[in-house]
Amino acid sequence: MNLPPPLDPVRHALFLDFDGTLVELVDRPEDVQIAPHAVARLAAIQTACDGAFAVISGRRIADLAHLLAPLRFAAAGVHGLERREVPDGEVMPLAGPAALDAIRLVLSIGVTEEPRLRLEDKGTGLVIHYRGYPELEPVARELVTRAVQDEPGFSVMRGDNIVEVHLAGMDKGKAIAAFMTREPFVGRVPIYIGDDTTDEFGFAAVKALNGVSIKVGDGLSEADFRLACVDSVHRWLGVEPVTGEDSMKEAS
């Protein structure tokens, strides 16, 4: 495994995916949790990097803000269709939910007909989940394909137990490239860590900027470096492991 170099907060800008990178994947995305001491470490990294820190996720920024509270951070959500350029700034949607209304209707009917599928509505993106039912992958793909049909201007992406559709023209890589043109990111060497096929756009963007691309887990990837799992990401970030006593304190 080609392990990544250590983070240098003086010269690096750090971009992190969330699910599968900072937290383990779970059947219900709303059930995910991140330990308070891990959030505290991210806050310390953000300070050390002079603010050149952002979360780049398929989740909505509002959900990320809740999960990572009290940390305030720059972010791109829904694969870049939402953006918060500064930690205390407003969330700027780059597209409205109404454009997906026709597709939303077809997907809603589809998950009613096959209740083992689950529809997640992000407003600017729609996701069909089939986690726990891998045999439904072709059903999920066919449903999204049928919903989109030949409508122009939409992008369909396949990820870990999901099929997602949103307006075309934005992805995680373009979001990272946009951040890198602004302070405090400009002039730094970008690092991006992600685990899924949708993160390949991010890897390509940082490689184009002579940055550091880090894939979490197995599978084909354009990333130059690897970390084995979420725990490996935490160790690379310097998140201290929790002892049994510390775990009880965090849970209380």
Active-site residue identified among 8, 17, 196, 224: 17
Q: What is the CA radius of gyration of the chain?
A: 18
| Phi, psi at 204, each rounded to 5° | -65, -40
Catalytic residue flag (residue 17): yes
What amino acid positions are annotated as catalytic residues? 17
